[in-house]
Amino acid sequence: MKYDKLVRDGILDIILKSGKKPTYKFVKGDELMSYLSKKIGEEADEYQKSRALLELADLIEVIMAIADYEGLSWEQLMAMRERKKKTRGGFEKGIVLQDISE
């Protein structure tokens, strides 16, 4: 079966312990960012389909990897989130914008 997708670091060991032989490569730089970009969409889709909270944890893991790639710590990312929330608000009220008239 062909995959061509980014997987967690421990997945190769799990596959090997099952008696199977994976084919894999290591990526860095822009290629890693490309795979992380695909992965964030994949994890978001999985959450939307299942609404499983474990999928949210996977999504956060990918976000953390992207932040790390960009040189941001989790604390810095959370500070950015908080600043934006202070200026634009969060999503707690459930507001759905439907139209803007002139």
pLDDT at position 74 over 90: yes
Mean pLDDT of the 80-93 span: 97
Q: Binning pLDDT at 50, 70 and 90, where does residue 1 land?
A: confident
- Segments forming the whole domain that contains residue 34: 11-80
Q: Binning pLDDT at 50, 70 and 90, where does residue 90 land?
A: very high
Tell me whether residue 96 is in a domain: no
Per-residue pLDDT tens digits for 12-50 = 999 999 999 999 999 999 999 999 999 999 999 999 999
Tell me whether residue 59 is in a domain: yes
Tell me whether residue 90 is in a domain: no
What's the whole-model pTM score?
Answer: 0.86
Tell me whether residue 35 is in a domain: yes
The torsion angle over the Cα atoms of residues 15, 17, 20 and 24, rounded to 10 degrees, is: 40
- Integer angstrom CA distances of residue 23 from 1, 11, 43: 10, 12, 22
**Number of compact structural domains in the chain:** 1
